[in-house]
Amino acid sequence: MNRIDRLSAILIQLQSKKVVTAQHIADRFEISLRTVYRDIRALEEAGVPIGAEAGKGYFLMEGYNLPPVSFTKEEAGAILMASKLAEKHTDKSIQQHFEEAMYKIKAVLKIQEKDYLENLEQNIEVLQRPSMTAEQFPDHFLSDIQSSLAHKKVLSFEYFSNYNGQYNTRQVEPLGLCYYGSHWHMIGFCRMRQDLRDFRTDRITKLRVLDEYYDPGNHQSYQEYLKTFMQGTDLKESRIKVSKRIAHFLGEQKYYFGLAEEKEVSDGVELKFMTSSFRGLSRWLLMFGSEVSIISPEALKEDVQKLAKEAFDHHHSSQIA
């Protein structure tokens, strides 16, 4: 990137946030801090009113606005890809807002960018497993959760626990949103449990944003919680292989048991699961008999063997009786 393009990009970056650190600018353009200082000085000499906060970073003085931003066809294509992903991997509230935003973005595109986007749009598709969202879960709360995070307000909702199959009312101080295992998850401090918890957003119903504020600084960061969580403190990793003949019969259920990875191999399909307990997974795997091989861990193999023996003993004793 030449210097003129970089100066324009820095100016857009300064307008995108309240304060931007020199290090963030250096990291983005892979330049030294000394080069950042020279570029900021060049913008100031060109008449751009840039302020600086000691120990924090640079900002544009209030009242200064850039001319309307234009997009290259490559940038427009990237936005189209993002919209396709948002359409399939967010809930109804975010999908609606993204659709409205896309109309506004398309409205400011040049004719050639609009043509480029139209030609692309009909040839790009994000495929997703069929949705089985139950009617009692409206799955449209991501926008409210975002608002709660931004304004630091407490949430109240009913949550369905897959562990015991029951609903209970929670008051939660949300700390972050993350996407894994084909679902959005809210990490927050649960007042009922008095600890950080992971809530799948598609199991939430009757959500309200309360007029009560909280201080996220009172809790462990959700990034640290997730790091511990993903390293296996609460989730256990297991790997299995199924024959190609029955792979398609796994259907929607594989996601409920914590599917994390799936890849085709020469003699079947390998799947990686992250689960809090092997028992449910073990019972499910027994359904497929010899079509399933457990790669790891040994504890899962032992659990399946134990269940199989219990089933054999039960039915064998029934026949004798």
Structure tokens at 28: 């983005």
Please give the average per-residue pLDDT across 279-296, as a whole number: 89
Task: Cis check for the bond before 297: say yes or no (omega within 30 of 0).
Answer: yes
Residue 63: predicted pLDDT: 77
**Boundary (domain end) residue, out of 177, 202, 228:** 228
Phi then psi for 25, rounded to 5 degrees?
A: -65, -45
What is the model's pLDDT at position 318? 60
The answer to whether 147 touches 211, Cβ cutoff 8 Å, is: no
Structural domains of the chain, count: 4
CB 37 within 8 Å of CB 22: yes
Pick the last residue of a domain from 212, 228, 244. 228
- Same structural domain for residues 211 and 245? no
Give the pairing type, strands 268-275 and 259-265: antiparallel
Last residue of one domain, picked from the residues 180, 208, 228: 228
Could you tell me if 115 and 192 lie in one domain?
A: no
Per-residue pLDDT at 190: 92
Q: CA neighbours within 13 Å on the CB side: how many for 91?
A: 22
- My answer on whether 188 and 248 are in the same domain is no
Distance of alpha carbon 93 from alpha carbon 139, whole angstroms = 8
Helix (H) or strand (E) holding 187: strand 183-190
Q: Is residue 130 part of a domain?
A: no
pTM: predicted TM-score of the whole model, two decimal places: 0.56
* Closest to 73 in 3D by CA, of 119, 116, 118: 116
* Torsion angles phi and psi, residue 178, rounded to 5: -145, 160
Question: Which of 129-143, 193-207, 250-264 comes out lowest in average pLDDT?
Answer: 129-143
- Structural domain span for residue 31: 3-60
For residues 110 and 47, membership in a common domain is answered with no
pLDDT at 225 over 90: no
Distance CA 44, CA 51 (A): 9
pLDDT of residue 233: 47
Give the model's pLDDT for residue 164.
61
Answer whether residue 150 shows pLDDT above 50. Answer: yes
Local confidence band at 242 (pLDDT 50, 70, 90 cut-offs): very high
Q: CATH number of the domain that 30 lies in?
A: 1.10.10.10
For residue range 171-221, list pLDDT tens digits in order. Answer: 999 999 888 777 888 999 999 989 898 898 888 988 999 999 999 999 988
- Please say whether the beta carbons of 1 and 9 come within 8 A: yes
